[in-house]
Structure 1
Amino acid sequence: MTGTDVAARPDDLATPGGTAGVPIEMVGLGRDFGSVQALADVNMSVRPGEIVALLGPSGSGKSTLLRICAGLESASSGRLLFAGVDQAGIAPHQRDVSLVFQHYALYPHLSALDNLTLALRYGRRQPKKAAVARARETLDMLGIGALADRRPAQMSGGQRQRVAIGRALARQSRVVLLDEPMSGLDAKLRVELRVEIVALLRRLGSTALFVTHDQAEAMAVGDRVAVLNAGRLEQLGTPDEVYDRPATRFVATFVGSPPMNVLDGTLSGGVLSGPGFAVAAPAGATSVGVRPEGLIVSSRASASAVPAGDTDLGSGPGLGSGSGLGGGAALGGDGTAPADGILRLDGTVVVSERLGAERVIYVQTPSGPVAVRVPTDSPAQPGRSVILTASAATCAFFGPDGVLLPAQH
C-alpha cells in the first residue's frame, strides 16, 4: 500500500456491524448555511433493513440530509439517532456507514479487486485472505468478476460505478447511503444497476437511504419514498401512497410522468370554478387535480351528453373508486348544479407522444394544457377537438397551503 493509502486509514475504526440494518430516527432535523435554510424540521423514521428513496428537485436538501447521516455535516438543530444512539459528535468512521458518491471516487492506481479489498482491510480490519474473498464475491454479484484486475481507466462508466457501489456494499455496513449513484449513466444502465443495487441491499439487510431527483428511480428503488422540497419533508410513504394519494400539491405535480394535472379555481357555495370547469369541492379547496390515466377522452360531437363510460377516443385505466383522492360530483362549465358526477373540460389535442405501450396526448383547455394517457391506437391526434371527463373518485382537492383535503363522502 502507498503512503496515501495508509494515511487514509482512520485512527479509530468502527467495529463491524454485520449485515443487520439499524433503525434511523430524525427528530426536528435542520441545517442552516448562514441565512440559507437547507433543511427545516425534518422528522422521519426508517425501519431496520428498509430502503428509503430521498426524492426532490435540486436544492431540496436531499444530499445535505445524507451528509448529516454520514457525519460529513452537522445538524444545526434536531437529533439524528441510529439504533437509538444520538449521532451528534460521533465521527464518520465510527458510525458504521458506507457512502456511495455520485462520482466514483476510486483509487485510479488500484484494480477493481484492490479497491474493494482496501475498503475491507482498512475499513473492517479483515485479514487479507478474507478481504480478497469477500471482494471477489461482491464483484461477482455485480456481474463484473471478470474485471477484477482492471484499473478504473480501463473500465466504462457503468463498470466503474459498479465497482464503487461494490466497495460500499462489500463492507456490509449497518447503514448504506447512496448519493445519486447513477446520475451519470445512460437510461438502460440505470435500470440494470438499480435492480442489482436493490437485490444486494435486500440480501445484506442494510438500512439504506438512496438520493435521487428521478421520480421513476425513487418509485422503483424505495420501500418508501421521502419527497423533499425547499428543505422540508412533504411526504413519506410507499410508492403507491405517494402516487395515489399525494399529501401536497407539490408531490402531486412532481411525482408521475406526466405528473398530475392541477386546475386552479375559486370556491363559492361548495363549487370550485375555473376557466372552463366547475366541480363540487370540499371547504377550503382552491384547486382540483387528476392523474393523466384518470381522464376519459371523448369526441366533441357528443358534447350534449357525455356518459362517463364513453371511450370512443380511448382513455386511461383510471384510478378506480378505491383511490380515495377526493369526491364531489362534477358540474357543467357554467357552474350549474351537479349533472352527471364527472369533471369535464373541452379542448384541442396539440401533441401526441408515443411512450412504449401507451400514448400521452396533451390537450389545450381554457385552464391550460392537460395530459391524458390513451391507448396507442387512439384516434385522438393533434388538431382533434375533444372532451375530457373524470369521475369524482379520480379527483384530488388542495387547499391554499397546497395540502390535500380530505375526501368527501
Structure 2
Amino acid sequence: MTRITEPADGPAVVTAATAGVPIEIDGLGRSFGPVHALRDVTLTVAPGEIVALLGPSGSGKSTLLRICAGLEEPTSGDLRFGAVSQLGVAPHRRDVSMVFQHFALYPHLTALENLTLALRHGRGLPKAAAVARARETLDMLGIGELAARRPAKMSGGQRQRVAIGRALATRARVILLDEPMSGLDAQLRVDLRVEIVGLLRRLGTTALFVTHDQAEAMAVGDRVAVLSGGRLQQIGTPDEIYDRPATRFVAAFIGSPPMNVREGRWHDGQLHGDGFALPAPAGATAFGVRPEHLVLVAAASTGSGSVPADAVVAPVALASDALRVTGEVVVSERLGAERTVYVRTSAGVLAVRVDAAEVPGVGMRVTLRAPLSTLTFFDAAGARI
C-alpha cells in the first residue's frame, strides 16, 4: 500500500506509486462578481477513472479544473479527494499533477531535468530515484532520446509529451489535463491521446481531462461530463451521451454533424411544426433525430447526382415511419466511408448520413423518413422527455 508522509515544512513525500482516489464534487459554485462561472455542479469520479470535461468556451470546465488543483476557491459547495475536503488545502499538498495547454517547461533545463526537478522538489524523491523514474517515464512515452534535449530544440508535439511525462512521473493521486493537445496537428493529437490513455490506465491514476473537442472527449473519457453556462448538463459514458442526450443542448452539441432538432407545438397527442406532424408525448416542444437515423429516398433526379429515381439510399426499414418530409439537396460532403447530405425542407435544413458510394446531386428532390423509435423529444425547459 502507498504510504504518504507530510513534513511540516514541505510537500507530501511519496515512497511508492500512488493509486488514484475518488473525487467528489458536491454542489460547487464559483462566481466572479455578477458572473457565475459554475452553478451547483455535482459529480463523482471513481478511483482510476478518466472523466472528460467537455463544453464550449465559457462553459466552466477550466474553472472546475482550477478548483480541483487549488488554483481557485469555490464560492459554494465542497470538493473531496478520498472523502477528505480540499477546501483551504494548498495546491502542493493535494497530491495533484497538472498538464497545461502551453507546455510550461523550464526552457533552460533538458527533458530529463524537467522531470527530475518535479520529482525531487515536488515529490521529495532522492536524486537517483528521481532520475531513474524520469528516464522510465520518458521511455514509456517513446521519447527517451529527448532526455538531453532542451525545449527549444523540440517540436511542439515533443514538448507536450515531455510536459505530460512530467505530470505522469509524479504518480499523483489525481492528474488534471487542461486542453493538453489543443495546439497540435490532428494526427499528432490522435497518436498522443492514445498514449495518454494507455499510461493513465497503467498507473491507475484518477484523471480529469478538459477539452472542447468532442471527438477527443469521447475517445479519452470513461465518462464525459458536458457543461454549458456553468451547469452540468449530463455525465455518462460516450454511448450514453450520444444515444440518450439528457438535454436539448447535449443533443445539439454532440455529434458531427449533431442531432437535427426542430421545434413544434403539441396538440392532441401530436407535435406539429413547419412541414411535419408526428406522435409525441405530452409536454413536448421539440424533437430531435440523428443524421444516421434518417432514411433518404430520391423522389426525382433533377441534379447531377447518380442516385436513380425512387432508390433508397440507406437500407433501413421504412415501416411505421413517424417523420416524413420532402426537400432538396443543397450540399453533399464526403467524410471517409460516409457522406453527409444537407437537405433543405419546410422544417429547415436537415443533415442526413448515407454511404459514401451514394451521390445525391445538388438540386435533387428527396424524401426524408424516420421511425418513431429513433426520435428524441424535449420539453420547454430543454430536458429530454
Residues 100-179 of structure 1 aligned to structure 2 (within 5 Å): 100-179=99-178
Would the aligned equivalents of 2:100 and 2:179 in 1 still touch at CA under 8 Å? yes
Could you say which residue in structure 2 is the equivalent of 1:46? 45
Could you say which residue in structure 2 is the equivalent of 1:14? 12
Could you say which residue in structure 2 is the equivalent of 1:321? none
Range that drifts further, 342-351 or 106-115: 342-351
Residues 202-213 of structure 1 aligned to structure 2 (within 5 Å): 202-213=201-212
Would the aligned equivalents of 2:300 and 2:310 in 1 still touch at CA under 8 Å? no
**Aligned amino acid, residue 315 of structure 1:** A
Q: How many residues align?
A: 370
Range that drifts further, 233-242 or 14-23: 14-23
Could you say which residue in structure 1 is the equivalent of 2:333? 353
Matches of 1:316 and 1:24 in 2, distance apart? 46
Range that drifts further, 19-28 or 64-73: 19-28
Matches of 2:271 and 2:68 in 1, distance apart? 44
Would the aligned equivalents of 1:349 and 1:361 in 2 still touch at CA under 8 Å? yes
Matches of 1:268 and 1:202 in 2, distance apart? 51
Matches of 1:217 and 1:228 in 2, distance apart? 15
**Aligned amino acid, residue 353 of structure 1:** E
Matches of 1:268 and 1:74 in 2, distance apart? 48
Could you say which residue in structure 1 is the equivalent of 2:182? 183
Return the TM-score normalized by structure 2. 0.93
CA apart distance, 1:67: 0.2
What is the DSSP-based 3-state SS (H/G/I as helix, E as strand, rest coil) of the residue aligned with 2:158? Answer: helix
**Aligned amino acid, residue 145 of structure 1:** G
Question: In the alignment, does 2:366 pair up with 1:368?
Answer: no
- Residue by residue over 1:301-339, the C-alpha shift from the partner in whole angstroms, topping out at 9 and shown as x without a partner, is 59xxxxxxx992422879xxxxxxxxxxx9xxxxxxxx9
**Aligned amino acid, residue 139 of structure 1:** L
Matches of 1:89 and 1:109 in 2, distance apart? 33
Matches of 1:340 and 1:128 in 2, distance apart? 71
**Aligned amino acid, residue 73 of structure 2:** S
Would the aligned equivalents of 1:71 and 1:90 in 2 still touch at CA under 8 Å? yes
Question: In the alignment, does 2:358 pair up with 1:378?
Answer: yes
Matches of 1:315 and 1:20 in 2, distance apart? 48
CA apart distance, 1:15: 3.2
RMSD: 1.8
CA apart distance, 1:248: 0.1
Matches of 2:316 and 2:82 in 1, distance apart? 43
Would the aligned equivalents of 2:28 and 2:74 in 1 still touch at CA under 8 Å? yes
Matches of 2:330 and 2:264 in 1, distance apart? 23
Return the TM-score normalized by structure 1. 0.88
| Gaps in structure 1 of 5+ consecutive residues | 1-9, 303-309, 319-329, 331-338
Question: In the alignment, does 2:8 pair up with 1:28?
Answer: no
Matches of 1:312 and 1:207 in 2, distance apart? 51
The sequence identity of aligned pairs, in percent, is: 68
**Aligned amino acid, residue 383 of structure 1:** G
Would the aligned equivalents of 1:313 and 1:380 in 2 still touch at CA under 8 Å? no
Could you say which residue in structure 2 is the equivalent of 1:395? 375
**Aligned amino acid, residue 402 of structure 1:** G
Range that drifts further, 77-86 or 138-147: 138-147
Could you say which residue in structure 1 is the equivalent of 2:305? none
What is the DSSP-based 3-state SS (H/G/I as helix, E as strand, rest coil) of the residue aligned with 1:300? Answer: strand
Matches of 2:172 and 2:111 in 1, distance apart? 20
**Alpha-carbon distance change, 68 to 317 in structure 1, aligned in 2, over 3 angstroms:** farther
CA apart distance, 1:129: 1.1
Residues 216-365 of structure 1 aligned to structure 2 (within 5 Å): 216-300=215-299, 312-315=311-314, 340-365=320-345
| Gaps in structure 2 of 5+ consecutive residues | 1-7, 302-308
Matches of 2:13 and 2:286 in 1, distance apart? 53
Would the aligned equivalents of 1:293 and 1:317 in 2 still touch at CA under 8 Å? no
Would the aligned equivalents of 1:313 and 1:378 in 2 still touch at CA under 8 Å? no
Matches of 1:235 and 1:293 in 2, distance apart? 22
**Aligned amino acid, residue 403 of structure 1:** A
CA apart distance, 1:18: 2.8
**Alpha-carbon distance change, 311 to 396 in structure 1, aligned in 2, over 3 angstroms:** farther
CA apart distance, 1:127: 1.1
Moved over 3 A (4+): none
Would the aligned equivalents of 2:21 and 2:81 in 1 still touch at CA under 8 Å? yes
Matches of 2:138 and 2:337 in 1, distance apart? 35
